[in-house]
Amino acid sequence: MNNRSLIALCDVNNFYVSCERVFNSRLVGKPVIVLSNNDGCAIARSDEAKQLGIEMGTPFFQLKDLIKQYDIQVLSSNYALYGDMSERVQQIIRQYTDSFENYSIDESFFRLPDNDVVAIEQSARLIDQIQTWLGLPVCIGIAPTKTLAKLANRYAKKQKLPSKLHLLSRPEATDALLEKTDVGHIWGIGRRMKAHMHAMGLYSALDLKNASPKQLRDRFSVVVERTGRELAGTECIDFEEMPPKKKQLICSRSFGSRLSDFETISNALAYHITRGCVSLRKQDSHAQSIKVLLESGSFSDDGGIRRYSIGIQLAEPSCNTADFIKAGMLGLRKIFKPDTPYRKTGVCFLDLTDQAERQVSLFEPAPGVGEEPADYNSEGLMQALDAVNQRFGKNTLKFAREGTHAGWTMQSNYKTHAYTTRWDDLLRVQ
Ligand SMILES: [Mg+2]
């Protein structure tokens, strides 16, 4: 009997920068950085930028001299583009497997047949297809467990292997790589745990593999015990083909500058509530309460920040945007103070329940027999709203409360177009 399989991890190299390069070939071969929300700090770097010593998370303002000196290309993050490209990569990988887990925006695990030759051949085709169809460079690591697949992927990328893939299946070869790898580079071992492990004599990943599982459980946790077993080739970490549903949901963002007028801040809050409700409906959840969040203080002086929040309970669980905007405005009115410089607002949805297990109010009319059609039709209204916005682009239909978005949006002064998700932004060939 042979029902084992190999696990592959496909990871896009320098994902955000690579997406930008697909649509702007002048960025190829140059140092490029992508900034976080509000153009705060560097969150993605091309290899050339990494070679200049730019660390992940360096604040933008600290880089200004370096940028001038080396002609570094600077971009604001363009999540519409990255999200769509990620979706396209996932669609291609799914053609090669029945068992697939999207792990992050640029990484996916999937199963391949337990045959080294077949696994390598299929991975090579996949790498080629993603490069040809999307123009994105990826590396693939293949191994009997997720933890080893992560390691194999890291090896393929760091060594710049021409095949862009690495298979760990023979125990001797796996041990040789484990011996050369610091425990800190193993998936799930953070900086503090690494220090702890070094202090007790576990330096290499091979040391961790050879440690007694009981000792790992007693000194650390079941999670670390599993990591040890996975390094030894026993699959212990489940495949999450369906991502677990979120229990709470937060939507918030800093303003582009400080604001003190109620109208503009309420527009921003309504926008975040709308986004949150779309996510609620996407995962078939309802929420019964929200917390309205408001933050005052300057951007430069972190000491001066004050956070305000207020919880608002709904009569019954809902996923209707109008219900939450009403509740949100009520909350905002209670915590808002005039003449105060605010820097951020947001909303947290709490008490999330599945649509199926929702307790219906005694007073809610049964479908088809209610007196107020407009009310019990609101679910249909929300479905129509989502369908239109999905088809014609975000914000095609929106609630008046959201206003024009003009007064509060974040700074993103170096943002490229939504090349793949907006007709108006399609690349033009001249
Ligand atoms: Mg990556």
Residue range 292-330, pLDDT digits in tens: 999 998 655 556 788 999 999 998 889 999 999 999 999
Please spell the DSSP secondary structure of 98-160, one letter per residue: S-EEEEETTEEEEEEES-HHHHHHHHHHHHHHHHHHH---EEEEEESSHHHHHHHHHHHHHTT
Could you tell me the distance, in angstroms and rounded to a whole number, from the CA of residue 107 to the centre of ligand 1?
Answer: 7
Q: Which of 72-81, 238-247, 413-422 has the highest mean pLDDT?
A: 72-81
Domain spans, the chain: 249-402
Could you tell me the distance, in angstroms and rounded to a whole number, from the CA of residue 14 to the centre of ligand 1?
Answer: 5
Question: Could you tell me the pLDDT band of residue 420, with boundaries at 50, 70 and 90?
Answer: confident
Among 30-39, 135-144, 185-194, 388-397, the range scoring the smallest mean pLDDT is 388-397
* Percentage of the residues of the chain whose pLDDT score is greater than 90: 67
Span 369-378, average pLDDT: 50
Average pLDDT, the chain: 88
Could you tell me the distance, in angstroms and rounded to a whole number, from the CA of residue 70 to the centre of ligand 1?
Answer: 24
Q: What's the gap between Cα 369 and its chain centre?
A: 43
* CA–CA–CA angle 218, 221, 225 (5° rounding): 85
Query: Residue 43: its pLDDT value, please?
Result: 93
Q: Which of 79, 80, 97 is nearest to 9 (CA)?
A: 97
Could you tell me the distance, in angstroms and rounded to a whole number, from the CA of residue 105 to the centre of ligand 1?
Answer: 8
Could you tell me the distance, in angstroms and rounded to a whole number, from the CA of residue 30 to the centre of ligand 1?
Answer: 18
Could you tell me the distance, in angstroms and rounded to a whole number, from the CA of residue 140 to the centre of ligand 1?
Answer: 11
Query: Residue 301: its pLDDT value, please?
Result: 55
Could you tell me the distance, in angstroms and rounded to a whole number, from the CA of residue 158 to the centre of ligand 1?
Answer: 12
Query: Residue 156: its pLDDT value, please?
Result: 97
**C-alpha to C-alpha distance for 396 and 391, rounded to whole angstroms:** 9
- pTM > 0.75: no
Residue range 208-226, pLDDT digits in tens: 999 999 999 999 999 999 9
Q: Is the pLDDT of residue 38 over 70?
A: yes
Q: Is the pLDDT of residue 380 over 50?
A: yes
Higher pLDDT among residues 30 and 406, named by residue? 30
Could you tell me the distance, in angstroms and rounded to a whole number, from the CA of residue 402 to the centre of ligand 1?
Answer: 35
Pick the CATH number of 249-402 from 3.30.110.70, 3.65.10.10, 3.30.1490.100, 3.10.580.10: 3.30.1490.100
Q: Is the pLDDT of residue 128 over 50?
A: yes
Query: Residue 186: its pLDDT value, please?
Result: 96
Query: Residue 298: its pLDDT value, please?
Result: 66
Could you tell me the distance, in angstroms and rounded to a whole number, from the CA of residue 339 to the centre of ligand 1?
Answer: 44
Could you tell me the distance, in angstroms and rounded to a whole number, from the CA of residue 20 to the centre of ligand 1?
Answer: 14
